[in-house]
Every structure is written in C-alpha cells, then in structure tokens.
Structure 1
C-alpha cells in the first residue's frame, strides 16, 4: 500500500536524490525506496502497541525508517484507525531530557501558543514552565493535554530518536539516575491506555516511538517496565535484500530524471558488505557520484564507474571527502576543527552532541570562528555535521556528527579519537593518583610515569574545560603533577649533592692514598739506597782488605827469597 504513496508524493524540496551521510527526513519520502514493506510492518505494530521500539545496529537505517517511512505513512493516513491528523514531536534525550521534550512540545504545530496561554506561572518562560510540569510525575503529559487539548480527532506521536542517550545520561550521577528513571516512566505511562487510574486516564491519542542501538538492550533493565514495553513493541529493521538495495540505488535517480548505469549498480550491489555502515556509506557515495555526474550533464546525469573510481570507491569515499573539507581550512581553523570533532566523539565511537559555545571555550576562540568551521563541514553535498545547512548557528546551537560511520571511516578522525582516548586514559590515571595522594593513600609519581605525564602536559596543554569531560579534580591533578615534578627535582638535587660528596671523599682518599704510597715508595727507595751504599761500602772494604792481605803475602814471599 505504501508504494502508491511514494509515487504520488512530491520530492522537489530536496535538491539531491540521495541524502548522503545524514538520515532521511519526513519530507524525503519521495526518494526513500526499498523500505515499503518494513514501513507497513511498523504501522501495523504501532497500531497494536502504541509503544514502538525500533532497535538495531548503527547504520541499519533506524532513524530514516522512522522519519521517511513511519511518520510519513502516518501523515498519509496509512494507520487507518487513527486517521490523518497528526502532531509529531521529535526529540533526542541528550543531556536534558525534560527541557528537550518541552522544547519540541512548544512548537507551533503541537502545543505552541495554547500552552503559553494556559500557563499562568510568573517570572518564567514557557519552556522552563513546561519542563517543570513534565517532571512532576508519570501522568504529567496526560494532565497537560487535558488542560491544553489537541484539536478534535488529532493524534500526538512522540519520537525519541537516539534513545540510548538516556543510558549515558543515567551514568553521570545520582541526580541523573532519578531524572532518567522518571523520564522513562513518563514515556511508558504516556503510551499506556488503561493502566492509569480513571481520574488520570491517559490521553488515548498519544503514541510513543523510540529508536535505539541494539547494544543497549541489556541496559533497559535499569528502568522499571521498559523491558516489558520493548518486548511487546520491538521492531528489528531487516537488512535490505539485493532487490531492495537495487531500488534504493536506481529509483531516486530516476525520480530526478537521471540514471545509474547497470555496471555501476552491479558493482555497488557486490561491494555493499554486511557491516553496519553499509547504508550510510552507500548513500554518501551515491550523493557524491550524482553531484559529479550532474555537473557534467545537468539535464540527464548518468552515474558511471568513472565517477565511482573518482570518489575513491565505497572504501575511501567518505574519508577522502572529509579530508577535502578539512583541506579548505587554514591552519588555525584546522585546530578548531580538531577540537570540534574530538569533542563531538564519545566513547566507543559514539556521537556526543555539544553546544557551539562550549567548543569555542575549549578551542579558546569565538563562537563566530567555530561557526565558520562548522559551515565548511555542513555545506551542500557534505552534511557531516548537524544541524543541517539553512538552520542558523548560535552559541546555544547543539552540534553533532550526522552519522557515526564518519567516526569509524574518516581516518583523520580515527587518529584524533585514538589520541584523545590515550590522553583521557593518562589524565584519569593522573587524577585518580592525585585524589588518593591527597587522601594520603598514594605517593607522588616518579619515573617513568612522571616523565610521560610531563611530556603529555607539554604537548597537549590541557585545561579545566577539557578535563571536565573526564574527571572532577583538575586543579588537584595539576598540583599533584607539579608536586611530583618538584619532588623528583629535589631528589635529583639531593642525589647530585650526595654524589659530589662521595666524589669528594673519594678524591681525598685518593690523595691520602697517593701520599702514603709516595711516602712508602720514598722510604723503600731510601732504604734500598742505604742498603746499596752499605753493600758497596762492604764490598769496598773487602776489596781493600783483600788487597792488603795480598800485599803482605807478597812481602813475606820476597823476604823468604832473600
């Protein structure tokens, strides 16, 4: 049934037949092919459960299926029992789940002025008031909609994209644990029809859909009722078959009056592997090739193997494209870009949304300078960062990487993230040792840890803003490092002094020994000389005596002859 919808829907709001790295949007159903069957299954399941969990690995198309498939199908009236009048509130939990929910509900298409008129709280804006109201309990959204009801026969669908962010928020501390649990309870209660007491009956026209990476399934047990709800409403997006992939490759180009040559189609079908990045990488490569082909022939672009080879194939297209954007920056802007992407990347190659103003603080530049760099990476045909091109950038704008495949496949970013991980690991060890040292439970660092830490500090020049991401005691860690260096310098000085003393003692001993040796030698020489003189005198005396005896003997002989 959904194929007819695709055929009739206009797509000219999108300048490209392929979205590239980012997910499809609601208004891009006309170029969203290969998922019709899956969309029908989603609609059927949502009608049965009112709570739907689209769960799968990164890159399997969860967000695109929810937006360009499910949401577009709802607005087209394909959930027959619900009709065609829908209000869609799409959000991500991020670091502020309640304020983020309040912000999307205040959109003109949902509550808008109706809530502002209803709210009578003074000295507070509508967003803060609504956020506070939502956090009062699990039935709060029901109560708000009873006081500011939607138009007749209108349904509300709450889409919580990247639901796994709630688990990361949960891990940040005790206060976050309680708030995360309350927020999940609000979502579950909102989607239930009959579990609430009669006086607090849920608004019967509310549906909740979440998208979540499958590696977080085991974490669902952290929240009461969430495993049960997911068991009832889970949808695992199947991998596209070869025929479905062919449709996703060929049909968007045909919608634009263009084509993909059969040889290229076969190469892509054979090249697309079973890894988690197959869909975003394929869409990015198709977008790149279409732009090259369209530049050659705007009236009838034909994507060929020549374009495939020019972009570097599926394996290198994304990395080379990101490098081209990076090469457009001057050295100072490249430093900003490195700081930007390091901080937009979280542990285990996950996305980590950050406000533009915080990037400016970390890079020690103005928000305007950061915005210039962001524009380079989100210009038409790139879409490496969100928000997308066309949305104004302010210091409060939350920046994000459009898809995690960029983190895994851009070699330069992989090098940055590997280096960032090493820096974080060293700093956390440093801070842990500093904390224990301050509690008199550990000693100051010495070689080789100290030399490694000092070399890291000299090269990276960390500051408190950077360190806040990895710990809480930056000043203590720096004091510990400085004291360790002083202690080693003091020990080295004392060692050198002791060595000099030792050399001095050895020198004096050598001189004394030499003197004694010389004295002994002189005495030996003198004694030898005296002995020699005595022997010579003795020999002389003996010779003289011999001569005298010989003379007397001769005289006696002469006398006898006479």
Structure 2
C-alpha cells in the first residue's frame, strides 16, 4: 500500500514576520511519519545536513508559490499512479483576504498582499482535492485562518463522491490566529500532534484516534483547532514489534479478504485474487478471438470479481494480450434506466459539473439514436479497442420496468456488434437464473448471442478453494490452521453461491486472529460459513436503538427487489429517498454509515453527485434469516408499493401527463394503501405526489360531470325526473346554507354544506365570512377563492380540499385536517393553525404572515414562495417541507435543526442572525 507525504515548514518571509516554529514543526512530523507511518516523505524546503548526509527541513530556506504548488500537485495528482494514501502537512503563515468574498491562503516566502500576491489559495487546494484520485487524503494545516479550507460546500470533507476517506485538521477557525507554544520549539497544534502521533502500543494511530486525542488536549491560547473526518479510519502511525522495514510484518495489518465486496480491477485487489486462474485464461481467450462475451453463473459465484480482478486487470497489464494495456475500459450497471447508464459510461471522470453535463447531453442524444449513435461514441475513442463491461446485466430485468427501454437497450448493444473493425468488445455478467428472461422476447437475438459466446462460472474445485483461502494469507504473513482450511472447504465445496460467505467469514476470522494466525476455534465460535454473516448482521441490528432498528428494517426492505419467478435480488436506492418524516436525514446517514462500516451495505455516487446505497451482496438477502422474515411478512405489501411507485415513475417520465394518472379502482386502492401504510413501507415522495395529482384530477372530472349532466338534452322523462329531483334537493340544501350568514351556522346548516360537498357541488368564491364551521367535514371540497376570513374551522376536515387563493385571513383552523389540501396562494395571514395537520399540503405562494403554526404538522408540505414572516413556528414539524424562496424573516421559535430537516432550506429568506446560525453566507446587498 503506497503512502506519500509532503511536509512543509516555512520560517523565512520577505515581507512578513519570520517565524521560529515551522521548520522544527515540519521536521518533527516528517520523522514521525517515516519512523512509525511507513510514509515516503518529501520535505519542503529540503536541505542536506553536511554532518550526517541526511535531508531535513531548511530553517532559513525560502519556498516560492511555484515550488509549493508543484509539490502539492505531485502529491495529489501525480503523472503516474496516485498513492493509496497522501498526507499534506503545512506550518507557516496563513493569510486571509476579505474583499467582497473571504479567501484563505498559505503564505509562501515571497508573498506581498499589497501587490496582490497572497500565496497559495485554499480554494485552489479544495478543488485539487476534489479532483484527486487519491482514495485516502489527509490535510493538516498549522497556520492562521487555516479553518478557511473547510468553509464551502464544494470542499465538504464528507463528500462521498469517489468513495474517499478524508481527514482535515486545521489549527484554528477561519477568523482566528494560530500560535507558537512558548514552552517548546513547536507551535500549539503541532506540539499536540507530535504527542498524538507517537504510538504507545502495537496498534495503529488513526485519524479518528488522533482527533480524539487533540480534543482532549487543552491549551491557553484563544484558538480552536477544527477537524473533519469522513469515510473509514485512515491508519497513520504504529509502533512495530519487529523492524518496520520488514515488508511482511507491514502487510500483516492489511486484510487480504474482501468480505461481501467484489475484487476490483486494481493492483491492491488483484494481488489477493486467487483460485480463478483457469477461468481467467478462458475469458482472455474469448476476448482475443471475439467481440462479445457473456459470463453467467449463480449469485455469489464470483462473476464480477473474475471479470474485474481477473480479465480486466490482466488486460490493463498488457502481459497476456499484445497491446491490451492501451485499450480503453468502461464498466457500468444497467440500473433502472439502462440507456442513461450506458450514456453515463461515456462521460469522462474528473470533469467540472458544466463539462460533465455537456458530455452527458451529447452522449444521451447519441444513445437515443440506438446502435448508430453508440457506434459514433465508440468511433470517437482514440484507443485501438474499447472494452465495454455491463456488470449485473440482470438489472435490465429486475430494475428497469419499461419494456420499451429494455428493448432499445438490448438492440443498441447488439446492433453495434455488427461493426467489422473489432474495435468494440462487449462483456456482460449475468445471473444464470435470468437467462430464461432473455427468451421471453426476441430482444434482437440476445439469447442466441449469449448461447454462442457463453462462459459459465462454475463452483471452485477443492484445489481452487484452498488456493483462494491460503494464498492471500501468505501475502500478509498470516498463518491458517490446516484443520480450519479443511473445515471451510467441506462447508462450501460444491455450493455455487458460497464465495461471498466464504470471503466474509475469512474477513471476520482476520479480525479475530491470534498472533497472526486464523484458528478453527474462532471459526466454530463464529458459527461457520453459514452462521457468520447472519450472526454478525443480527448483532449489528440488535446493537441499534429501537428507532434505529425500525429505520434499518425499512432500509433493507427498500434495498430488496422481489423476484418474479426468480430469487429476490438487491435494489439500488437513492440515499435521500430513505429519508422520511419519521426518519431524519441525520438518522438515515448515521445508520447507512454504520452498515457500510460493517460491510453490510455499500455506498456510491452517481455522476450527478447523487448518493446511492446497495446491499453489499445478495448473499445477505438469501442467508440473513431476520431479513428473510421481514421480506416474507411484507412481500404482498411490497409488491403493491412498488407497483404504485412504478406507475408514478412512468407518469413522471411522460411529463406528468394526465393520461398516466390513476383512476377508478386503481386510485382507490392507492389511496387506501397510502392511508394504511406503515412507516417502514412508506411510499416515495414522487408516488405521494402522483396520488395527489390523481385525486385532483378525479375532483376536476367530477365537477365537469355535474356540468355535463346539467346540459344533457331531454332524452327520457325518467332521466329528467332524476336530474330535476337532484337539482331540487341541491337547491334546498343551498337555501339551508344561505339562510343565515355569519357565526350562526347551526349543525343542520353545516350538515347541509357537507352534503353539498359530497354531491360534488363547488364552493368556488362562496362567502363564509366569520362562519362557525367547527368540526365540519369538507374533505375534497372545492373552496377555491372562497372567503373564509375570521371563520371558525377548529377541528374541521379539509383534507384534499382545493383552497387555492381562498381568503382565510384570521380564520381559526386549530387542529384542522388540511393534509394534501391545495392552499396555493391562499391568504392565511394571522390565521390560527396551531396543531393543524398540513402534511403534504400545497402552500406555494400562500400568505402565512403572522399565522400561528405552533405544533402544526408541515411535513412534506410545499412552502415554496410562501410568506411565513413573523409566523409562530413553535414545535412545528418542517421535515421534508420545500422551503425554496419561502420568507421566514422574523418567524419565531425557529431552530437550525428544525429548518435543516426541510428540503431546499438554503434557498429560503431568513433574518441576518439566523442565517449565521444556519451557516449560510449573508444575503447579497440589494
């Protein structure tokens, strides 16, 4: 594992006060990293000590901006392969420029702020880190204003964009100075770092344990070091029992097994990938002689691993096929939108958002043209050959619900294979039990193509299993008891889907190793191959709080795709879609991180920076008994839920056209499901919007039907009599309602009004000023533009009602049910809405100024453009509400936590002080 460090200490400056500590700081850190961390350290400025011919930090040597930039680029974006771990340490002056916008800089020796030369921009450093391919990044800045590196959203150290582990340590906040320690030759921060990095046992000091130490270290100066860690722990230093130059001992800290993850096409993974030599040779032969390869096998048979760490890695090395190291390789999964996924595969990495969007637009435009467009993308490649790998090809059946898109996807891929220049090589991996799906339709000759170019991944032989267990251990000087090897092979031999369980068990055994030895006793305690995974998964589940357990159950149900004549499979889900009114984003993120740390789920990021979650392997779905129980208990309900959500996706993809809304029985079933669902099986926000739109369409159709029947020509006296009778009854009801105005609405008049609503009568523009409508059932009513000012609507049921542009100023709506109601542009100024249920209501553009919304349920409500100035929001639930362009200035009882539970909270208007609490920059001057 390659580990590089750049250690910088600048004492000497032309126009700034020279310092005493930085050179000593940097040299002390460099020596610790070399001695205990196995880092290859580059010093800046570097001088040779004439006495002992060693390199050290120069105390009086200057460092220019060019030198510093070049050294940092070489660390994080080298010309060759980037290191696995890269550490930047800087000690010296820090500068802050505040002209219009605040900027931070690392001062190099020649800085001259008066001439506009401030040094190295921290904004530039942030961008470099975002574009860097280094998986583990550590940045330690011991200088004034160093906290500036953590200030902006684009520098979020928690970014999961490339699966990175990151550690940022800054000596002070963005507005603070940093100090030298008067009791030592080092600065305050570095003096603490030296103690924290000094290992005291044969255990790693990681970024997390280091930050714990720094948090416990007190100092007298008015500076507050700040830290930010993301991803998994990064090993920094360790006290070795034997010589640190012994590479075997160094590697013993590395787990050579993959748990539930596949082996990828990297050097680190490939060197531990054993047992599939013969199969890899067969795949290489197929690629050498053809342009299509189908790799089929049981779930858990190792298809993805052998294609990635076997076939692709060997092709990239170029040792087996002449010139294959110059080929281009693209790999993707079909997902729910395989055509879009195909287009995304042709978008280059490391682009800016604008460049990425431009490339994606062009790729998608070409893909819509089918094989002809894909051929143009392939032709545009400057490489001799392009290997396009579609991993987990079965997702085109399990996740893609659009038969038409699936058909186009298959025809696009197979059509381009007609090329004569052999520039494209298409490789697919697919579960064998999905081959029958390929036979259900013609799909452009897909099934025949697979049969002609098929390689089946069969279970490993006894010798291959032994190699897969023993050889990786030998790479890290790990011993395995012979009895353990025999027992494990006996447990998995002949089982086609056991490899993930085997790798997971070996990983757990590695965690419990005794003196670099894996033992049979530990294997027995774990429960063997079959018991280890489910035992550990259950332990993790039971260690969670009751609330976390319920959220975890929901997460795993969402991550399971129910089989249709096949086994259940995994299902990729957008992480934000797991957030609900009951389970906050903070809670979901915390659980996902825990499950990812335990290797039960994997997280990744799409090219548009959307975080997605997967079950680590389908072995979890098949063998964790608790999850199997949840799935079987919820199977029918899950099917109904997915059916509604699939219809909602189709509606969205069709431009939300009315023709794709639910009607009749399907709509009633969807409404009932939505009302009865448990939180674990909550519909997606899109599905809820879909049902709301369908209900509104039903209302509109109902009103039109009433009008239609009023103008039907006289066809039969019976029909006429019915119509006349109905109209007389409606007229009588209106007379009861209109008999008395104001507060004196008797229960008889309220009942008459309710019957009018049930009959589909519109209350459009009706006058209910000061009316007593307490407890009235006006669900589904059309009250658009009605005047309800100062009306008493306490406890009224107005769910799904249309109150668009209604006048409700001063109305008493306390504890009223307004869920899903349309209140767009309604006047609710000064209204009493305390305790009201406004969940998922449309309040876009509504005037809620001065309204009492204490303890109101606004979860999921659309508050875009709403005026909430001076509103009372004590105890109000804003989770999932849309606050884009909402005015919350002078609103009372707001808290940052409550606001941040809403969506688009950063786009709302707040008072200056509250913006600061939210961490938002001041609003620009008008």
Compared CA separation, residues 155 and 464, structure 1 to 2 (3 A): same
Distance in 2, Cα, partners of 1:290 & 1:43: 32
Aligned mates of 1:411, 1:393 — CA distance in 2: 35
Give ranges in structure 1 of 5+ residues lacking alignment. 1-10, 195-202, 432-436, 446-452, 480-562
* CA-to-aligned-CA distance 1:345-368 (integer Å, 9 cap, x gap): 11132111110011114x743333
Identify which of 385, 409, 412 aligns with 2:601: 385
2:610 corresponds, among 387, 390, 396, to: 396
Residues 174-213 of structure 1 mapped to structure 2, 5 A cutoff: 176-194=402-420, 204-213=422-431
| 2:394 alignment counterpart | 164
- How many Å separate the matches in 2 of 1:474 and 1:409? 41
Question: Which residue pairs with 1:303 in the alignment?
Answer: 518
Spell out the pairing of 1:459-498 with structure 2 (5 A cutoff). 463-465=682-684, 468=687
- Cα displacement (A) at 1:261: 0.7
> 8 Å contact 1:385–1:402 — kept in the other structure?
yes
Q: Relative to structure 1, is the Cα distance of residues 366 and 343 closer, same or farther in structure 2, using a 3 angstrom cutoff?
A: same
Question: Are residues 1:354 and 2:587 paired?
Answer: no
Contact 1:89–1:105 at 8 Å: present in 2 too? yes
Name the CA shift for 1:188/1:302 in 2 (closer, same or farther; >3 Å): same
- Tell me the residue number matched to 1:130: 363
CA distance in 2, matches of 1:155, 1:430: 43
TM-score, with structure 2 as normaliser? 0.42
1:96-495 residue pairs with structure 2 within 5 A? 96-108=337-349, 125-146=358-379, 148-151=380-383, 154-169=384-399, 172=401, 176-194=402-420, 204-221=422-439, 222=441, 223-293=443-513, 296-297=514-515, 301-348=516-563, 349-361=568-580, 364-379=582-597, 382-387=598-603, 396-424=610-638, 457=676, 463-465=682-684, 468=687
Residues 386 and 401, structure 1, Cα contact 8 Å, conserved in 2: yes
Q: Secondary structure at the match of 1:15?
A: coil
Q: Distance in 2 between matches of 1:283 and 1:461?
A: 31
Aligned residues: 422
- How far residue 276 of structure 1 moved from its aligned partner, in angstroms, is 3.6
Q: Cα RMSD between the aligned structures?
A: 3.8
CA–CA distance in structure 2, aligned partners of residues 385 and 430 of structure 1: 26
SS in 2 for 1:26: coil
Q: Which residue of 2 aligns with 1:5?
A: none
Does the aligned pair in 2 maintain the 1:73–1:79 contact within 8 Å? Answer: yes
SS in 2 for 1:89: strand
Give secondary structure in 1 for the equivalent of 2:324: coil
Q: Give the Å deviation of 1:125.
A: 3.3
Q: What CA deviation, in whole Å up to 9, does each residue of 1:87-122 have, x standing for no partner?
A: 22111000121222222321338xx69x998x9xxx
Task: Report deviation, 1:438.
Answer: 7.3
Distance 1:77 1:274, change over 3 A: same
Distance 1:226 1:85 in 2: 29
Task: Tell me how far apart the structure 1 counterparts of residues 367 and 643 of structure 2 sit (CA, whole Å).
Answer: 40
Alignment partner, residue 500 of structure 1: none
CA distances 1:440-490 after superposition (whole Å, capped 9, x unpaired): 89xx99xxxxxxx99x93866864428959x979988xx9xxxxxxxxxxx
Q: Distance in 2 between matches of 1:429 and 1:35?
A: 41
Q: Is the 8 A contact 2:398 2:561 kept in 1?
A: no
Kindly indicate whether the alpha-carbon contact (under 8 Å) linking 2:554 and 2:680 is maintained by their aligned counterparts in 1.
no
Flag the 1:13–1:254 CA change in 2: closer, same or farther, 3 A. Answer: closer
Classify the secondary structure of the residue corresponding to 2:599: coil
Change (3 A) 1:44 1:440: closer
Higher relative contact order (CA 8 A, sep 6+): 1
Distance 1:468 1:415, change over 3 A: farther
Partner of 2:318: 77
Question: Is the CA contact 1:22–1:384 (under 8 Å) kept in the aligned structure 2?
Answer: no
Q: In the aligned structure 1, how far is the partner of 2:640 from the partner of 2:613?
A: 27
CA distance in 2 between counterparts of 1:321 and 1:394 reads 34
Contact 2:295 2:428 in 1 (8 A): yes
> 1:219 deviation in Å?
1.8
Are 1:162 and 1:213, in contact at CA under 8 Å, matched by a contact in 2?
A: yes
Change (3 A) 1:108 1:385: same
SS at match of 2:506: helix
CA separation of 1:438 and 1:132: change in aligned 2, threshold 3 A? closer
Choose from 285, 289, 293 the match for 1:48.
Answer: 289
Distance 1:387 1:467 in 2: 22
Q: 1:426 to 1:80 in 2, by over 3 A?
A: closer
Return the offset for 1:144.
2.5
Going from structure 1 to structure 2, the CA distance change for 1:239 and 1:474 (only over 3 Å counts) comes to farther
Is the CA contact 2:263–2:305 (under 8 Å) kept in the aligned structure 1? Answer: yes
Aligned-pair CA distance for 1:61 = 0.8
Q: Distance in 1 between matches of 2:495 and 2:410?
A: 31
Q: Give the distance between the partners of 1:458 and 1:90, measured in 2 at CA.
A: 38
> CA separation in 1, counterparts of 2:556 and 2:680?
18
Alpha-carbon shift at residue 335 of structure 1 (Å): 1.8
- Change in CA separation of 1:412 and 1:179 when aligned onto 2, cut-off 3 Å: same
Superposed displacement of residue 403, structure 1: 0.8
Higher strand fraction (1 or 2): 2
**1:65 alignment partner in structure 2:** 306
Aligned residue for 1:23?
262
The structure-2 alpha-carbon separation of the partners of 1:33 and 1:132, relative to structure 1 and needing over 3 Å to count, comes to same
CA distance in 2, matches of 1:68, 1:281: 19
Q: Do the aligned residues in 2 keep the contact of 1:44 with 1:79 (CA within 8 Å)?
A: no
Tell me the distance in 2 between the aligned counterparts of 1:359 and 1:76: 41
C-alpha distance in structure 1 between counterparts of 2:284 and 2:525, whole Å? 41
Larger Rg: 1
Indicate conservation of the 8 Å contact 1:50/1:192, yes or no. Answer: no
Do the aligned residues in 1 keep the contact of 2:512 with 2:522 (CA within 8 Å)?
Answer: yes
Distance in 1, matches of 2:284 and 2:252, equals: 25
Instruction: Compare the two structures and name the one with the higher helix fraction.
Output: 1
Q: How much does 1:14 deviate?
A: 9.8
Tell me if the contact between 2:509 and 2:522 (Cα under 8 Å) persists in the aligned partners.
yes
Partner secondary structure for residue 684 of structure 2? helix
